[in-house]
């Protein structure tokens, strides 16, 4: 299975990176369902404009900060001349903000017409034959970690958290862990107050969880280089890669 990184920056885009968006073009666990999964809809979501889309697009939102949901307002263009049904998933607060404060507001006049599904921790659901679970993360305003389990592989998506480790069991032994790292260790004093991770937090999560492959994302937009160049990350996490926009990984 392939996963494509459409946006890998946190907070705001820069010349190299747009904000959070990950795409699995063929995510279904069975051949009868033609569907794609989108993990967060930051500014990187625009990269789906003009592409041939599957018949169903499932968008999973971690939380309601703008760098993770503003791309929902691009759906008019993303879906232009496409036959694609969209369903948006998140917790009750995130979906409510998307419906009433992003859409149908002075920020964006159109109303949200797409189906929504509210997710609750300890209550997994099945989407296109894939088990989807969520775990609440420590972050200002809250955030959700996602775990997707197919019959032969698994993926965890953990972004916007202070890296307190409460979610380790939730992501244990995944085939691919997509994990945020907004700050190098030199800026760790900013990490906890802003609800984000420094390098050491990612190393601990990856090593303790036993993740087979790791992609580091949600990079500080003031950083232009590869985050793997920081804090001896290549040696600490030999199975990790610093994600960039356009990166395609197989897992």
Q: Residue 188: what pLDDT?
A: 93
pLDDT in tens, 201-215: 999 999 999 999 999
Residues 6+ apart with CB under 8 A from 57: 35, 36, 38, 84, 85, 86, 87
Whether the Cβ atoms of residue 48 and residue 6 lie closer than 8 Å to each other: yes
* Residues 205 and 237 sit within 8 Å (Cβ to Cβ): no
Q: Please tell me the CATH code under which domain 2-250 is placed.
A: 3.60.15.10
Query: What pLDDT shows up at residue 105?
Result: 96
Q: Are 27 and 128 in contact (CB under 8 A)?
A: yes
Q: What is the pTM of this model?
A: 0.97
For 122, the token pair is: 């300890």
Strands across the sheet with 125-127, in order? 125-127, 130-137, 143-149, 154-158, 176-180, 214-217, 240-242
Residues near 96 by Cβ (< 8 Å), separated by ≥ 6? none
pLDDT at 223: 87
Domain boundaries, the chain: 2-250
Q: How far apart are CA 131 and CA 225, in angstroms?
A: 35
Q: What is the pLDDT of residue 181?
A: 98
Q: Which residues pair with 4 in a beta bridge?
A: 23, 248
Which residues of the chain register pLDDT less than 50? none
Instruction: Give the pLDDT confidence score for residue 32 in this predicted structure.
Output: 66
pLDDT at 134: 98
Q: What is the DSSP string of 60-90?
A: E-S---HHHHGGGGGHHHHTTT---EEEEEE
């Amino acid at each position: 299975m392939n996963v494509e990184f459409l946006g890998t920056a946190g907070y705001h885009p820069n010349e190299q990176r747009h904000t959070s968006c990950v795409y699995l073009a063929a995510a279904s666990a069975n051949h009868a369902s033609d569907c794609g999964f989108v993990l967060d809809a930051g500014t990187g979501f625009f990269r789906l404009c003009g592409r041939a889309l599957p018949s169903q697009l499932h968008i999973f939102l971690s939380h309601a900060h703008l760098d993770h949901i503003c791309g929902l307002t691009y759906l008019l263009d993303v879906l232009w001349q496409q036959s694609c049904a969209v369903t948006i998933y998140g917790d009750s607060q995130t979906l409510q903000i998307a419906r009433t404060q992003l859409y149908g507001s002075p920020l964006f006049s159109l109303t949200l017409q797409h189906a929504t599904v509210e997710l609750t921790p300890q209550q997994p659901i099945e989407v296109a034959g894939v088990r989807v679970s969520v775990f609440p993360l420590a972050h200002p305003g809250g955030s959700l970690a996602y775990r997707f389990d197919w019959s032969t592989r698994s993926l965890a998506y953990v972004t916007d958290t202070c890296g307190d480790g409460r979610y380790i069991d939730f992501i244990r032994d995944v085939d691919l862990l997509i994990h945020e790292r907004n700050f190098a260790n030199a800026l760790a004093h900013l990490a906890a107050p802003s609800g984000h991770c420094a390098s050491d937090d990612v190393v601990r999560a990856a090593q303790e969880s036993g993740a087979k492959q790791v992609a580091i994302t949600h990079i500080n937009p003031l950083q232009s280089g590869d985050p793997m160049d920081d804090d001896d990350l290549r040696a600490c996490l030999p199975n990790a890669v610093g994600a960039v926009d356009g990166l395609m990984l197989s897992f």
